[in-house]
Amino acid sequence: QQPVQSPQAVILREGEDAVINCSSSKALYSVHWYRQKHGEAPVFLMILLKGGEQKGHEKISASFNEKKQQSSLYLTASQLSYSGTYFCGTENVGGFKTIFGAGTRLFVKA
């Protein structure tokens, strides 16, 4: 039931791009993306709803393929501040219950 995230970890140099994937075996209505710094609360990045839309926030964007029950988070021209653990959270229709993946650790070095 827990969505599967890949890769588990990634190391980037400043300015490089990364893609983080999230897939579910169940039909999804929505997918959230959050970033968490060590010892802090997760911070909301964006939410995608059923319908295959793509969203963007500065140099971070995401897509949702409802046929494949997959979402991808795109980080372009990475900055040091992008370091942290990225989580996807998923919901089924009418569920109220948000289930998170195990996370992807991203480290950006100068």
Which residues bind to another protein, rule: CB under 8 A? 1-2, 29-30, 32, 34, 39-42, 44, 47, 49, 87, 89, 91, 94-103
For another protein, which is the closer residue by CB, 39 or 81? 39
Tokens of 108: 């950006």
Closest by CA to 20, choosing from 6, 30, 9, 1, is 6
């994937």: which residue's tokens?
Answer: 21
CB of 60 to another protein, least distance (A): 15
Taking the CA atoms of residue 52, residue 57, residue 59 and residue 63 in that order, the dihedral angle to the nearest 10 degrees is -10
CB of 108 to another protein, least distance (A): 19
For another protein, which is the closer residue by CB, 34 or 82? 34
In whole angstroms, give the CA distance from residue 24 to residue 98: 13
CB of 97 to another protein, least distance (A): 6
For another protein, which is the closer residue by CB, 19 or 99? 99
For another protein, which is the closer residue by CB, 48 or 75? 48
Task: State how beta strands 104-109 and 9-13 pair.
Answer: parallel
